[in-house]
Structure 1
Amino acid sequence: MYYNYYRVNNWQSILNFLQQSLYAEEMVCAMSSELYHIPETQDLKGNNEMHDHLVPASYHRVTSVGSAIRLVNGEQRQSIIATMTTCIVNAEKQDKGVREGLKVMEENASIEYKPVIRMIIRWQNQAESYLKQAKDSLQAMGVSFPSGSDEQGGEY
C-alpha cells in the first residue's frame, strides 16, 4: 500500500531524532559493556539483566533508523512506516527493563563506580527522550502506532 500524504522533509526530522536516540544508545552500550572488562565491576549485579533488554532495544532502534532512512530516500510504502513505528514501541518496552537494570547496578556499584553508572543513566535518559520526540513528531504527522506487541516487529 502506498501513501502520498506525508512530506519527505518531515521524515528528515524523524530520522534526526531516531539517530540521536541511537547515538545515546551506543554510549549506553559502550559504557555498560566496558564494565565487564573491569575487575571491580565485571560481575556487577544488574548488568546482565540490563543487557537482556539493551540488546533488543538496540536492535529496534537500529531498525527504526533504517526505516527512516528509507523514507527520507523516497521509498513510499506503508509497511516501512509500520516497521518503524512497531520498532519504536518495542524499543520503549525494552527501555523499561534497561532502566530497571541500571537502577540495580547503581544500588550495587561501589562508591567509585556510581558516577559511571549515573553517566550511563544520563545517556539512557537521552536515548529515551529522543525516541519520544520521534514518536511525538510522527503522531503529530498523523502516523498511528501499534498497541505494543513484540510479534510485529522482529524476534526481540
Structure 2
Amino acid sequence: RRVPPFQSQDSLEASLPGMAASRSGHETMENPALDSSRPIPPLVRKTIAELRPGLKHLHLRFIVVEKGEPTSTVSSQTIYPARVADESGSIELVAFDARGEALRPGDICEIRWGYAQPRERMLRLFVGKLGQLLRVGRINMLYSVTPDMSAPRPWDDASP
C-alpha cells in the first residue's frame, strides 16, 4: 500500500501501513520479517529544543521555515532537507521522496514516529519508514529559529 506524502488532520485516526487491530482491539504493527505482530510503542511528545540523539517514536508539531535543495542517494532516493521550527527552536528535517517533495515553507506539520539522529556531526529529525508526516495547517504558528538544534554537536555543551 502506498503512503501519501501528507495526510490531512482528518486522517489522524488512519492506520499506518502494516497496522492491524489485534483481537484485544489494540492496534499492532505487523513485523513482516518475523511474520508476527507486536504492540505499537507509545508516542513521545517533544519540543524541538528537547531533542537529543537516539530519541525515537517522536511526536512533534512544527512549521516549515525553509526548504533546501534535494539530493539523491546511491539507492535512488531523493532527500529533501527542510528547516523546521516550533516555539522552542529549530532543526533540520530530513524527508525522503514524495513526503519531502510535498513540503512547502509555511506548512504547519506533525510528525508521528519520527526519530532524531546525528548525521555529519549535526542533529537531524527524520520521518521513519512507518512514520507519518501530517500537514495540519498553514502559516499561523509562533516559532523561534534559535536555538538551532542542528548546529554542530549542541548536545555536547553540557559535558564537563
Provide the TM-score with structure 1 as the length reference.
Answer: 0.25
Q: Which has the higher strand share?
A: 2
Q: Which has the higher helix share?
A: 1
Provide the TM-score with structure 2 as the length reference.
Answer: 0.25
